[in-house]
Structure 1
C-alpha cells in the first residue's frame, strides 16, 4: 500500500524529495496560485463593472464565459509545447501572458476592450495548468504525490482567498480597476522560474528515447483519441466537465448572489469567500492524504457527495451567519474535490502525451463551465428566488454526474511515472 505515512526504515515523506523537486513543485504552486488571483478577482467585481460601463450584468458574465472557453486554446497549445520542448518554457510564457492581460483589462477605457483583454487572459490561464501540473507531478516522488497534488491544486483557493482579501480591503480605495491592475505582479515570478527550475528527469529521458528510436509524437492531441486510450480520454473529460460546472455553480456566482439577492457590503461578501477558500486549501491537503491511502477516486467521491447535501444551507436563508457558516463548511467538501486533478490526470496518461492530454481533458471542462454564469443569471432574472434555485440545481446535478463518472473510472494510486514510450506510434 502506498502511503504518505512513514513505514519502518523510511525517511519522512517531506525529506524524500530533492531540492530540485521542491523547486519544481513550488514553481507550479506559485503559477496556479497567481493564476487564480488574476481570474477570481473578476468574479467579485462583475456588478461594479456592469454599473461602471452601464451594461447589463449578463453581458459581464459573458466575459468570464469567453475567458473560460479560451482556456482550452491555451491548454492545447501549452500542452503540445510542454510535450515537445519541456514543461518550463510554456509555464513562464503563460504567467507573463495572463499578468499583462489583467493589467490591460484594468486600464481599458471601454467595455469592449475590457472584454477583449479578459478574453485573451483565458489563453494564458489555460496554458499555465498543463505545464505546471506536469512539471510538479513528474518531479514529485510517488509516495506522497496525492498529498502534494492536493496542496498544488488547492493553491487555487489560496489565490481566491488573496483576491477576496484584496477586494474586501482595497476595493473602496482603488476600485475595480486597481484590483485588476494588481494582477500584473505575478509576472515577477518568471525570473525566479527561469533561473532555478529544472525539467523533470522523466520527461528529459522520454524525449531522448523518442529521438533515439525516431518515434517523435508531433501531434499528441490526436494520439489521446486513438482507440487504445479513447475510453480513458472520454471518461476524464466527463469527470472534469462535471467538476468545472460544480465549481462555477458554487463559487462563480456566489458573490453576485450576495450582492444582488442579499445586498451585502464588500466586506461581508469577501469574508465567507476568503474563509471558504482557506478551508478548501487545508481540506485539499487532507483529501490528498486520503488519496495516498485509499485511492484517488474515493478522495473525490466522498467530499462531492457530502457537499451536495451542504449546498441548500447557504442558499435558502437570509441569515448572514448561516450563509457564511455553511459556505465556509462547503470549502471542505465541494471546494476541495479538485485536489487530485494534477495527480490523477498525470497518472492516467503516458509521458509522451501527458501535458497535452491533461491540458485538453482539464480545460474542455471550462467550456461547460462557461455556460454557468449566463445560464444561472438568465434563470435568476426570471424567478423570485434569484440565484438560489439555479445554483442549487446546477450544483447538485453536476455533483451526481461527478460521482457516477468517478465510480466507472480507473484507480491510479501508487502508479510510477516512467520515461519509456507506452503508445504505439508510426515512425517519423
Structure 2
C-alpha cells in the first residue's frame, strides 16, 4: 500500500468500539494502518491500496530462500490435507469395511478435529520457542506412522483410537507451516502467496481423490490410499530436515529473545493472552465459522453424490476432483485480489456469492452438472479461505506468529468438529425423492441450509471484525516496558529468571529493554 501521509484515529479499544470502527472502515477505500518507526514508536495513518501487480512480478520478489520456506510450508499443509481427506473421501468404503453407518465412520472425523487444538497448542508454542523446523519434522513423520497404524486397525474401536491420536499430531502442522511460509514474504506479495498456500489444503484433497479414483471402488482399496498418504507425510518430514530454520526465528534468536529461561516465555504468553484476549476470542469465533464452512460443504459431498444423486464411486470422485480444483483456483485468485480489495471485503463478498450459488450446487443430478456447480461454489468457499492465512498472521501478536494462527484455527476446528457427523446424522434420518423416484438420504437440503447459515455468519462476523492489512512483520519482537515498572522493580532480571539486562534505553514516551 502506498502512504498518503494522512493521520488517522488510533485503533479503537474495547469490543464495541472496535466493532463500530471496523464497520465504518469497511466502507472506506483507504486502509487504517499502524506504522512503526525505527525507535519502536507507533502511529496510525491512512494508506491507499497499491494497484494489483502482475502476479509473476510479485512471485519474483521472493528470494530463493523465501521460496524454500514457502514450498516446504505448502507441501506440509498439502500432506496434512491428504491424510485427513483420505478418510473423509472414502467414508462409504470404510463403512462397508467396518460394517458401520456413514455417521459412525464420521465419528473418526469428529475425534480428529476435536484433538487438533491440543496439538496446535503444543507444537505451536514449540515453534515459537524452539523454531519451526523440528516441531514440523516430528509432526509429519508421526502423521505418516499413524496413517500406517490406521491401516492395521483391526476393529472399529482401534480405528477410532488411532484417528484421535492422528488429530493430536495433525493439529501442529498448520501454525508452523503458514508462519514459515508467509512471515518472510514481501508485504505486497502476501495476498497472492496466502491464497496459494491455503490451497495446499484443496490440493491435498485433489491428491486424495485422485488416489481414490486410481485404486477403484473395492472395499479394501481404502488401505492403498492410506499407504500413499503415509509416504507423502514421511517424505515431507524427511525433506524438511535438510532445509534451514525459518529466518524469522533465526533473527529473533540472534536478538537474544530465545536465550531467556523457559519461565519467561510462559510469562510472556500469559501477558499476551491478558492483553489480546479479545483478539483471541474473535479469531476463534471466525475460525469456528470457517471450519464449519469448509467441512459442511465438502466432507460429505462425495457421500452426497453417491447416496443422494446415485452416482457410482468413480463418477462421484471425478466430480469431487473438479470441485476442489475450483477451490484451488478460487483461493489463489481471491487471496491475490485481497491485497488490493482488502482482506475483509474479499471474505465477505466470497461468502455472499457462495450462499447465492447453493441452489445450483445441490439441485443438479448428473456428473457434469454436479462437477460444474461444485467447482463454482468451492471457488468462493475456498476463495474466502484463501485470505485466512495472511489475515490471521496480520492479526497475530508479533512474538506468537507460529502459535496464534494455529491455536485459533484448531480451536475453531475443535468447536466445529461434529460438522460432518451432524450432516450425516440429519441426512440419514430424513429422506428426499431422487431423480429415479427412490427415497434417498437428504444430504442436499441439509448441506444447503447449513452452508447458507454459515456463510451469513462469516459475512457478519468479518464485517464487525478488525483488519491489519499491511502490518509489518520485519524485525524481532520488541517488548516495551514502562519506566514506572522499572522504577518500582516490578520487572527485574531475578523475577524473570534472566541473567542480565544488557541495555535499558529511555526516551520521551518510550522505554525499552533489550535482552
Give the Cα separation in 2 of the matches to 1:222 and 1:259. 49
Q: Compute the TM-score of the two structures, normalised by the length of structure 1.
A: 0.93
Higher RCO structure (Cα 8 Å, ≥6 apart): 1
**Aligned partner of residue 323 in structure 2, secondary structure:** helix
Residue 378 of structure 1 corresponds to: 425
RMSD: 2.2
Residue 24 of structure 2 corresponds to: none
- 22-31 or 310-319, which moves further after superposition? 310-319
Indicate yes or no: 2:349 matched with 1:293.
Answer: no
Indicate yes or no: 2:461 matched with 1:414.
Answer: no
Residue 446 of structure 2 corresponds to: 390
Residue 203 of structure 1: how far off its partner (Å): 5.8
Give the Cα separation in 2 of the matches to 1:324 and 1:13. 32
Structure 1: give runs of 5+ residues left out of the alignment. Answer: none
Query: Structure 1 residues 27 and 128, CA, compared in 2 at 3 Å: closer, same or farther?
Result: same
The structure whose Rg is larger is 2
Residue 111 of structure 1: how far off its partner (Å): 1.6
Residue 25 of structure 1 corresponds to: 70
Contact 1:53–1:111 under 8 Å retained in 2: yes
Indicate yes or no: 2:262 matched with 1:217.
Answer: no
Give the helix-richer structure, 1 or 2: 1
**Aligned partner of residue 357 in structure 2, secondary structure:** helix
Indicate yes or no: 2:104 matched with 1:48.
Answer: no
Give the Cα separation in 2 of the matches to 1:151 and 1:420. 27
Residue 162 of structure 1 corresponds to: 207
Indicate yes or no: 2:193 matched with 1:144.
Answer: no
Query: Structure 1 residues 411 and 203, CA, compared in 2 at 3 Å: closer, same or farther?
Result: farther
Q: 1:199 aligns with which of 223, 230, 246?
A: 246
Give the Cα separation in 2 of the matches to 1:420 and 1:381. 52
Indicate yes or no: 2:149 matched with 1:104.
Answer: yes
Q: 1:323 aligns with which of 370, 392, 398?
A: 370
Give the Cα separation in 2 of the matches to 1:421 and 1:204. 12
Q: How many residues of Structure 1 are paired with residues of Structure 2 in the alignment? A: 424
Equivalent runs, 1:26-425 vs 2, <5 Å:
26-172=71-217, 175-186=221-232, 187-201=234-248, 204-205=251-252, 208-210=255-257, 216-218=264-266, 222-226=270-274, 228-385=275-432, 386-418=442-474, 419-422=476-479
Contact 2:52–2:339 under 8 Å retained in 1: no
Query: Structure 1 residues 321 and 203, CA, compared in 2 at 3 Å: closer, same or farther?
Result: same
Residue 422 of structure 1: how far off its partner (Å): 5.0
Q: Compute the TM-score of the two structures, normalised by the length of structure 2.
A: 0.78
Contact 2:253–2:259 under 8 Å retained in 1: no
Structure 2: give runs of 5+ residues left out of the alignment. Answer: 2-48, 433-441, 482-489, 498-515
Residue 423 of structure 1: how far off its partner (Å): 6.9
Residue 19 of structure 1: how far off its partner (Å): 1.3
Deviations 1:7-52, CA, capped at 9 Å, x for gaps: 9xxx932222221111001010000011111111111211121111
**Aligned partner of residue 158 in structure 1, secondary structure:** helix
Residue 45 of structure 2 corresponds to: none
Residue 202 of structure 1: how far off its partner (Å): 5.6
